[in-house]
Structure 1
Amino acid sequence: DITDDEEYEARLYLLRKVISGRIYAENDNKDIGAYCVSLSARTLVYKGMFLAYQVGAYYRDLSDPRFETALILVHQRFSTNTFPSWKLAHPYRMVAHNGEINTVRGNNNWMAARQASVDSELFGNNISK
């Protein structure tokens, strides 16, 4: 049984992690372009490859009077040394930046080395998912 909103959000987060992991595992650990940006009962995260002025026309619910919007944050950039692609379009789940990320392998290794020390009262034994 879910006791409060925080636990519900935590379970949705874990569900997103399990779904993402299963998609990856069932495709021989290959990136097939499936990417769940967010799974939350409180917020929606949109992703698209367009200019800021196009957001409202593309996601029409943002102009629906029944839809409450507290904040819209748009990251817009033009590729300088990579060809534009869906995978490289913001938002990413864990980072927003204003330049090229040239140390992805280093960052991944840094995080992997610290995963064993991560602890959470909210997630308990599910933290490894």
Structure 2
Amino acid sequence: MTAFDQMHTGVGMIFLPKDDGLLHQAQTVIMNIFKQEGLQVLGWRSVPVDTSVVGYYITETMPNVMQLFVQISKEENVDDIERELFICRKLIERAAALDTWGNELYFCSLSNQIIVYKGMLRSEVLCRFYLDLQNGLYKSPFAIYHRRYSTNTSLRWRLAQPMRFLGLNGVINTIQWNLNWMQSRETSLKSPVWHGRENEVRPFGNPKACDSANLDIAAELLIRSDRTPEEALMLLVPEAYKNHPTLMIKYPEIIDFYDYYKGRMEAWDGPALLLFW
């Protein structure tokens, strides 16, 4: 990435249609939306993979895995860049829902900070499948790996974990309740960080997605609305804080936090383990 300003560059890791005609349509829509948002598309890259290490079914169901590089010309901080990329992704997803290729589009990530490699892959195969992860030039301050598939839906590449912000073990027992409340409160989202564009980041949930994906959607919304990741997950998945001796004695402010937010966000109950970044 030496040819352009890395600080103002976003990388999209995208699952796209295999059919050349549908791929071209999808790429055209994506590039047009970035252009209308004032972002420059720097180019596309087919992510190199080794399909010899996976079975027939995985190869047959595998999407077209590509990376997209875009540049934001405005002088913005990291949070503003991430928020701009988030809005672009939501606009693209909304446009995709109107086309025949919409079900074949999925952003694993679109970020200035994170690239998500995922798929229907066994643990030992991930690095062998994605050749990028074997390249000595590929460097990252840290990496998080989480292996799990959704247990309440059929296996699909997009539902492999991790999600965009978190990896989850367990099941959200209250998922329908949570989705209903998120939908009922969509119109009440107001924050100066969105500069009047709140309507463009709706809807806030996806009934067709798994429970992990929907918790991820909710966490992303809160983080992009200027919450810290820790605050967002405490708000969404509060611990059993009532009559907790350690919290009562040492951290009463945490109890105050949970008491304040319990009337604003219903708990997403059920996770046994959450990884987030």
Q: Quote the residue 1:19 is aligned against.
A: 92
Q: Which has the higher helix share?
A: 2
Of 68, 75, 78 in structure 2, the residue corresponding to residue 3 of structure 1 is: 75
Distance in 1 between the 2:178 and 2:104 partners? 21
Letter in 2 for 1:65: G
In the TM superposition, structure 1's runs of 4+ consecutive aligned residues that sit over 4 Å from their partners are 78-83
Q: Quote the residue 2:142 is aligned against.
A: 71
Distance in 1 between the 2:150 and 2:81 partners? 38
Shift of 1:31: 6.7
Give RMSD over aligned pairs: 2.7
Going from structure 1 to structure 2, the CA distance change for 1:23 and 1:48 (only over 3 Å counts) comes to: same
Of 148, 155, 168 in structure 2, the residue corresponding to residue 97 of structure 1 is: 168
State the structure with bigger RCO (CA 8 A, min sep 6), 1 or 2. Answer: 1
Report 1:54-65 matches (<5 A). Answer: 54-65=125-136
List per-residue Cα deviations over 1:6-36 (Å, max 9, x = no partner): 3222211110111111111334xx9724221
Letter in 2 for 1:66: L
Of 199, 213, 224 in structure 2, the residue corresponding to residue 128 of structure 1 is: 199
Distance in 2 between the 1:103 and 1:95 partners? 18
Query: Structure 1: any 5+ residue segments left out of the alignment?
Result: none
Larger radius of gyration: 2
Q: Quote the residue 2:27 is aligned against.
A: none
Letter in 2 for 1:46: Y
Of 184, 188, 209 in structure 2, the residue corresponding to residue 113 of structure 1 is: 184
Shift of 1:99: 2.1
Shift of 1:79: 6.7
Q: Quote the residue 2:119 is aligned against.
A: 48
The 8 Å contact of residues 75 and 91 in structure 1, kept in 2 or not, is answered as yes
The 8 Å contact of residues 16 and 38 in structure 1, kept in 2 or not, is answered as no
List per-residue Cα deviations over 1:29-67 (Å, max 9, x = no partner): x97242212211221112211122222112222232222
Identity of aligned residues (%): 31
The 8 Å contact of residues 118 and 161 in structure 2, kept in 1 or not, is answered as yes
Distance in 2 between the 1:109 and 1:23 partners? 24
Query: Match of 1:26, SS?
Result: coil
The alignment's TM-score, normalised by the length of structure 2, stands at: 0.40
Distance in 2 between the 1:41 and 1:58 partners? 24
The 8 Å contact of residues 62 and 69 in structure 1, kept in 2 or not, is answered as no
Query: Match of 1:91, SS?
Result: coil
The alignment's TM-score, normalised by the length of structure 1, stands at: 0.77
